[in-house]
Amino acid sequence: MQWNDIGEFLAMGGRAFYVWGSFGACLLLMVAEPILAQRRARAVRDTLRRERLADELDRKPG
Amino acid sequence: MNDSIRPLTSTRLTRWLFHCASPPVFYPLAGRLIPWFWALAALFGIAGLYVSFFVAPTDAVQGEAYRIIFVHVPASWMSMFIYLVMAFWAGVGLVFNTRLSGMMAQALAPTGALMAVLSLWTGSLWGKPMWGTWWVWDARLTSELILAFLYIGFIALQASIDDPRRADKAGAILALVGVVNIPIIYFSVKWWNTLHQGASVSLTKSPSMAQTMLWGMLLMALCFWMYSIAVALMRVRAIILEREAATEWVKHAVE
């Protein structure tokens, strides 16, 4: 291993901005995308559930 | 004769494929597969990051900045590969008029766009310390930028058409025409004299170093690949429900 301590690891030989900027952007987008996909799926499921509930209420007599 | 003993003829295989491609069958199937792809993405990601930061040594020429390669190359590969898969499904939908194909293409586009953006972003952050510039209008960079625009154009075009089947057709034509850009990106470093380095990792270093670098890149590429499948399956499930909302099976699928 080429790092003596955590500070050296984070400094990335003076290229911290570029290295962490690259890995950070990947992490950020690759966390955000599945959350957005999950939300989209939840939104459509909620809509479908509401529609079905409305249908059932409509069918009830009185 | 028992059905399971009969040889798997091409007709039966085709029938089986079409069976799996029907939204009521594919929806729960994709749901069962997603956790496995997430698990694989996590495993490859942990191993890949470990190799990227703790096994691969400092580069003699580029210092630590070269470590950007471990996300830059996988993102670039996936941006091109996803485009081919997207164009394939779009083409299948155009020819066979199968319901799921267009949904698959639509589900892949945002992930492909994300990979193209990451490729450009990480490339820019690598270019600044190594070339002294964030951007050059070089063949490799420009064709990758065009790829990002193709994804965005595909998404925008489909979003602008209300009828999903017509949106699929229009998107498919755009996607198929855009395929010509993929070999241009891939061979750009050979065909033109570019600032971007060649296809393989050709930095001057000992063979053992190239080996660990290759492993890091491979593991990270597998992580990005598994991630792309997982997130595209998540999105295609949402698209299936959106488009098939009026059908009876969807009413039963959503409890």
Nearest CA-CA partner of B100 in B230, B233, B226, B229: B233
Contact B216, B71 (CB under 8 A): no
- The full set of domain ranges for chain A reads 15-59
When pLDDT is averaged across residues B6-27 and rounded to a whole number, the result is 83
pLDDT of B207 above 60: no
Nearest CA-CA partner of B232 in B109, B113, B73, B79: B109
Tell me the per-residue pLDDT of B112-147, one tens digit each, with 9 for 90 and over: 999 999 999 999 999 999 999 999 998 999 999 999
Structure tokens at B101: 């194909």
Query: What is the distance between the alpha carbons of residues A30 and B237, in angstroms, rounded to a whole number?
Result: 18
Q: Is there a contact between B251 and A52 if contact means CB atoms under 8 Å apart?
A: yes
Tell me the per-residue pLDDT of B56-106, one tens digit each, with 9 for 90 and over: 888 888 889 999 999 999 999 999 999 999 999 999 999 998 889 999 999
Give A-chain residues touching B241 at CB under 8 angstroms.
Answer: 41, 44-45, 48
Structure tokens at B120: 């450009």
Contact B38, B230 (CB under 8 A): yes
Q: Does ipTM exceed 0.85?
A: yes
Band of pLDDT at residue B254, cut at 50, 70 and 90: confident
pLDDT of B12 above 70: yes
Interface test with B, best of A4, A23, A59 (most B CBs within 10 A): A23
Band of pLDDT at residue B198, cut at 50, 70 and 90: confident
Q: Which residues contact A12 (CB under 8 A, 6 or more apart)?
A: A18, A19, A20, B64, B65, B67
- Indicate if the alpha-carbon torsion angle B16, B20, B21, B22 is positive or negative: positive
Nearest CA-CA partner of B225 in B117, B32, B81, B68: B81
Per DSSP, what are the bridge partners of residue B63? B59
Higher pLDDT among residues B228 and B192, named by residue: B228
pLDDT for position B200: 52
DSSP, collapsed to helix, strand or coil, labels residue B137 as coil
